[in-house]
Structure 1
Amino acid sequence: MKAPQRKRPQGQLRQGQLITTFGPGAMTDLPERSVLIAGLEDWVGERELISEPRLSAKIANLLKIPSVRLETPPSAGDIEDQRITGVRAYRFPEWFVTQDAPGKGQDESRRSRYLVHVRALARGNAFIHPETRKRLSVVPVRFVRACRLGHIGDIDWYFFLHGNENTCRNQGRLLYLDERGTSGDLSEIWIRCSCGKAERSMAQIALQKAEVFGRCDGARPWLGPAMKEKCDEMNRLLVRTASNAYFPQRMSVISLPERVETVREAVSAVWDFLETAEDEGDVARERRKAKVKEALEGVSDAEVWAEIQVRRAPSQVQEKSVKYAELETLISANEELGEDRPEGVFYARALPQKEWDKPWLKGIEKVILVQRLREVMALVGFTRFEAAAPDTDGELDMGVRRADLARNVTWVPAVENRGEGIFLLFRRKAIEDWLAKPSVIERAVQLRRGFDAWKAEHSSSSRKFGGPAYIMLHSFAHLMITTIALECGYPASSIRERIYAIPEIGYGVLLYTGSSDSEGTLGGLIEVGRRIADTIHNALELGALCSNDPVCSQHLPENPHARSFLLGAACHGCLLVAETSCEQQNDLLDRSLVVRTVQGADSEFFHELPN
């Protein structure tokens, strides 16, 4: 029996794009059609298992399922392979607009085109003109309906024009999309019926949001034609190519050294014996007990004592957040952390203080060059209209209603990136003293007022105010990203940040780059790290003056006219970077907390300005 022919793919996407941009439920334009990426049940082909127990446990808890696997999206496979592989997609939307050119003498600024359903198309996806019988090419209409919970569907254009009156629908009256202008603005786009009695401007949607499209029917077409669920949201207009059409919810962790995990598990097994230890001598004395000796076999007293020190915080009785576990590992690095081997997941070395000790770096305690790291990133869901990013602790909000990736989730798509980085550990005492300054407290109040104003407009959001320490570290990281990109050879969009502002154990900034291949480990960041004092010198100079000053430095977050409620002294001229680099979508920034600006608010952390 002859094997079935492999279906030719209709388009191509990189595996990483299926995590970051075009996951299940996302709309994309292929060369010949517009589609909706299907759910995970329709991702067929070989997938590689990614081992990262910490991330798997977090996602299983988030999705309220017993366990979940992390697997790579299926590869395209060999074109000669007869097996069907890849990611399936559904045609969406099912309404089209004809592409006939204006007739002779017709004003090009006032075009009228047919608005037709897929059932009215002939073979070859063309519409037959009812009078001339000419074949007219079509393109998908750019307007669909969706709700905040991710449900999506075609607009019922007959209902849009006639409401519940179905006469024109039953008679199959033709519909037209008129462009009465050249700007493409909604006020210039009209939908009308060939009956001559009904026409409506798309701009009316902005005035009658609740009445135009009716209540959402809970449609989830990416999971299958009949996959609906109950929904009480109102439908909203969604432009297919708009930036708010799809917000993937991703969760990522930095893989910790195997040695650190081994030490942690050993100490946990005999924590009842070790929790009162006051030094390495106490650890040695406890080791004389048979149970302790057995559990700590192969682990030195110094390693045990270092693990005990990071457990002193009261919050340890609770499950550690993603960033908590990462920060305590980075803090524990003395001279060396991890193993320097090609297949290793983490290796870091501390830069001797004599190589970077400068007056403007009094607030920094340790510089660690992460020569090898592994980041695992997984897609767990998505939203529309409003993004729901990880909070300042790296955790996704349990209360956010996210759209499902599959009818029954047993695995989620993930990728692992290899890279390098620079970790800067700030002195806790320096930050605590800085937070106690009246000028910093006053600035924090102003930033909080801006956040409260934003919250009033986004009452459904569970986002939390990061606090002045987080905002300072976040703003400093953005200045560093811009500065490093000029020196290390990586584009700024490929350098990412992780901000650690955890009062119980410490404060730090990790700047790293990662790629699924060797491009993430070219060594540029490590070389910049060796001259970190000069790099920070340049970053502080960059932040002191913005091309938009004094407007930028004098901005008040609560200003209702500027509507930059989550920004202090921050704009595209100084702090804003590519959103692929930022963990907060370019929010919660204020360079006046980092360095003195022309406003002179005396709220900066770095007092010793470089000469």
Structure 2
Amino acid sequence: MASAKHTSQIPSHQLVGYHGVGSIYELRTHWKEKQATLHSVMVAGLDYWNTDALQELHDPVLESILGVRKFYMPSLPDDEKYSKSAIPVVRFPRWLVCNRCHRLGKVPQEFNDIGFSGPVCNAAGCKGHGVPVRLVVACRAGHIDDFPWAYWAHGGKDSCNNPALRLTVQPGTTSLGGLMVSCLNPDCTDYKKEYSLGRALHQRFLCTGNRPWLNDREGCTEKGHALFRHSSTIYFPDVVSAVSIPPYSQELYQRLQKVAARDISRIQSAHKRGRDIDWEEILDSLRDDIRWLANYTDDQIIHALQSLAFINENRLEDHMANERLALLNGYPEIDRSVFVATPVPSEALTPNMARLFQSLVGVDRLRVVQVLNGFSRITHYGVRAALSKNDFDWKPAVELHGEGIYLEFNRDSLLKWAAQSNVRARVKPLADLAGDHQQEKAHPVSIFLHTLAHLLIKQLSLDSGYGMGALRERLYVNPREDTWMAGILIYVAATTATGTLGGLVRQANPARLEELLYSIYEEAQWCSSDPLCLETDKPVDDVLNLAACHACCLISETSCDWRNQFLDRALVVGLPGEESLGFLSGMLGEQTIK
């Protein structure tokens, strides 16, 4: 595992996301007076993290759901004693190409990299710099390895005994087909023969089971796919998140999670063994060590400890239903809670908004905990790769504080619209391609709400003062009658405890929201890729979208709950001559702003 002085740090929220364990990251280091050097590295597994340098984090709901006892935030405190990186990395891909003599090789054989200061070619008289190669090989089970350069330089045969590889570019070419790999060993039967990489992306290789982030290999029967190391399919993080809601959002609960973890474990252990809990001893111990508990009664402390020890949420879906109820019910600004929500009175809704929404809520304050639970490669829903070789009682997580608005849509209006034959026919191609575990996402109500959430994020970025990349969605969608949910939470959050500035929660004004929806409706009727975009009625290239592209509906995947899948602008605004296909067309299309 590698570390370096003056290393650029990965932001903590990205380490619980697209730059998490097992991801490839371009790391820049500064060594003495030299210019910054680029390294291609992979974030190491949890076995190698220095948890002594990380901040402990607790969330009882996610701990119960994921079966762990705590989380660690992957960020370094500003302290000189933590000179060694808390989160090491490993060089990947290992193969480099010299920017002068074009030889292919590794450190320390063909290149030297003293103190991780930057690889230098050790060929006589060269002194060129080693540049990470562009190709790697990955499989659907999460394994990843170097591209088989020696195999390719010998025409798909076993390598010679002493390969000396070179990678050159044919003059006047910019495609992968213009990259030629050859062997310069005079004793090789393929001496100086050049083989193009043009078909490398179409080739399938035997998977080696390599897990460089864990420094080991395991058996695998999958086929390896050649990919660019910066391909978006290299890494799909599995991030689980939860909003802290009452009672766990209250100050007493939040602080006890941090300082009373040992006592909570004692309570759980005594309960499992059928022993009586000595509350007097626990309370005396806590009060002796923690002065601020003087503000709370014994009953309040006992109730909080019991709730934290015996939380019964076992599924994320159950907790999301509880989150929705907390949003609908609201919560006042008392006890320094990290969750404050204010429902807009129904009589304050304009007639158009009353037709659209069951409830509108301004979320003045919220806390979101995001946990990296694993990752996959090649496909979103592939085998979830492990974050560690050993079983740990913790996972990496980040704590975000912010604000938002919650929109709960009118159930009767949505069901009436979704029952239309043209609406059902429109989504059928998506439902046919979606797996059994995604059928609820392929429901018309789900697709409409998801698409509208993206359009809201784009419009709110103009009206709220926040960049589009800062806004996120959280979808409370379940079209089943017994567990119905149809809500959108748009929120902005930061890793600082101070949260945000209030520009988003101010949008929870019925008149302002009505103008916002009219703007969305007008803008969404036209896309710069139309008519091609709007006329798309079948998924293209297995992407589970219909009328949706980067010009109209797609947003940053860090802001999206469903990885930019299950989107269709036609279900929002309709089609020419078929306006009833769009839900907003029926609700807003014939209205005008007074």
Give TM-score scaled by structure 1 length.
0.75
Q: Secondary structure at the match of 2:563?
A: coil
Question: What amino acid maps onto 1:448 in structure 2?
Answer: K
Report deviation, 1:355.
3.0
Report deviation, 1:564.
7.1
Matched residue, 1:48: 55
Matched residue, 1:95: 95
Report deviation, 1:366.
1.1
Q: Secondary structure at the match of 2:177?
A: helix
What is the alpha-carbon distance in structure 2 between the residues aligned to residue 183 and residue 586 of structure 1? 34
Alignment of 1:186-197 (within 5 A): 186-194=176-184, 195=188, 196=191
Matched residue, 1:215: 206
Percent identity of paired positions between Structure 1 and Structure 2: 31
Unpaired stretches in structure 2, ≥5 consecutive residues: 29-36, 253-298, 301-312
The answer to whether the Cα contact below 8 Å between 2:404 and 2:505 also exists between their aligned partners in 1 is yes
Matched residue, 1:73: 74
Report deviation, 1:362.
0.4
The answer to whether the Cα contact below 8 Å between 2:367 and 2:402 also exists between their aligned partners in 1 is yes
Matched residue, 1:326: 323
Matched residue, 2:269: none
What is the alpha-carbon distance in structure 2 between the residues aligned to residue 541 and residue 143 of structure 1? 44
| 2:144 is equivalent to residue 127 of structure 1 | no
What is the alpha-carbon distance in structure 2 between the residues aligned to residue 200 and residue 525 of structure 1? 56
| 2:180 is equivalent to residue 201 of structure 1 | no
From 513, 518, 523, the equivalent of 1:532 is 513
Deviations 1:414-469 (A, max 9, x none): 011111111111122222222222332332xxx221453x55xxx8x954443001
Q: Secondary structure at the match of 1:587?
A: coil
Q: Secondary structure at the match of 1:30?
A: strand
Deviations 1:131-160 (A, max 9, x none): xx3333222222222222221222332222
Q: Secondary structure at the match of 1:514?
A: strand
From 382, 396, 405, the equivalent of 1:422 is 405
What is the alpha-carbon distance in structure 1 between the residues aligned to residue 56 and residue 148 of structure 2? 43
What is the alpha-carbon distance in structure 1 between the residues aligned to residue 551 and residue 575 of structure 2? 14
The answer to whether the Cα contact below 8 Å between 1:557 and 1:565 also exists between their aligned partners in 2 is no
Report deviation, 1:89.
1.3
Instruction: Give the aligned CA root-mean-square deviation in angstroms.
Output: 3.0
Report deviation, 1:73.
1.2
Matched residue, 1:141: 133
Aligned residues: 501
Matched residue, 1:552: 533
What is the alpha-carbon distance in structure 2 between the residues aligned to residue 135 and residue 193 of structure 1? 21
The answer to whether the Cα contact below 8 Å between 1:550 and 1:599 also exists between their aligned partners in 2 is no
Alignment of 1:486-565 (within 5 A): 486-502=462-478, 503=480, 504-517=483-496, 520-530=499-509, 531-558=512-539, 562-563=540-541
What is the alpha-carbon distance in structure 2 between the residues aligned to residue 469 and residue 423 of structure 1? 17
From 583, 595, 599, the equivalent of 2:561 is 583
What is the alpha-carbon distance in structure 1 between the residues aligned to residue 485 and residue 157 of structure 2? 65
Q: Secondary structure at the match of 1:602?
A: helix
Alpha carbons of 1:259 and 1:179: their partners in 2 closer, same or farther (altered >3 Å)?
closer
The answer to whether the Cα contact below 8 Å between 2:371 and 2:396 also exists between their aligned partners in 1 is yes
Matched residue, 1:232: 221
What is the alpha-carbon distance in structure 1 between the residues aligned to residue 398 and residue 165 of structure 2? 45
Question: What amino acid maps onto 2:213 in structure 1?
Answer: W
Q: Secondary structure at the match of 2:587?
A: coil
What is the alpha-carbon distance in structure 1 between the residues aligned to residue 571 and residue 4 of structure 2? 57
What is the alpha-carbon distance in structure 1 between the residues aligned to residue 242 and residue 104 of structure 2? 47
Alpha carbons of 1:259 and 1:486: their partners in 2 closer, same or farther (altered >3 Å)?
same
Report deviation, 1:381.
0.9
| 2:346 is equivalent to residue 353 of structure 1 | yes
From 418, 428, 442, the equivalent of 1:448 is 428
The answer to whether the Cα contact below 8 Å between 1:96 and 1:141 also exists between their aligned partners in 2 is yes
The answer to whether the Cα contact below 8 Å between 1:97 and 1:114 also exists between their aligned partners in 2 is yes
Q: Secondary structure at the match of 1:113?
A: coil
The answer to whether the Cα contact below 8 Å between 1:494 and 1:514 also exists between their aligned partners in 2 is yes
Question: What amino acid maps onto 2:105 in structure 1?
Answer: V
Q: Secondary structure at the match of 1:222?
A: coil
From 479, 495, 519, the equivalent of 2:455 is 479
Report deviation, 1:402.
1.2
Q: Secondary structure at the match of 1:238?
A: strand
Deviations 1:57-96 (A, max 9, x none): 2222xxxxxx3422211415423x2663421112222222
Alpha carbons of 1:588 and 1:136: their partners in 2 closer, same or farther (altered >3 Å)?
same
Alpha carbons of 1:181 and 1:383: their partners in 2 closer, same or farther (altered >3 Å)?
farther
Q: Secondary structure at the match of 1:594?
A: helix
Alignment of 1:143-292 (within 5 A): 143-162=135-154, 168=160, 170=161, 172-194=162-184, 195=188, 196=191, 198-207=193-202, 209-210=203-204, 214-224=205-215, 227-258=216-247
Question: What amino acid maps onto 1:113 in structure 2?
Answer: H
Q: Secondary structure at the match of 1:545?
A: coil
Question: What amino acid maps onto 2:445 in structure 1?
Answer: A
The answer to whether the Cα contact below 8 Å between 2:430 and 2:442 also exists between their aligned partners in 1 is no
The answer to whether the Cα contact below 8 Å between 1:34 and 1:91 also exists between their aligned partners in 2 is yes
Alignment of 1:331-342 (within 5 A): 331=328, 333=329, 336-341=330-335
What is the alpha-carbon distance in structure 1 between the residues aligned to residue 458 and residue 156 of structure 2? 56
Question: What amino acid maps onto 2:374 in structure 1?
Answer: G
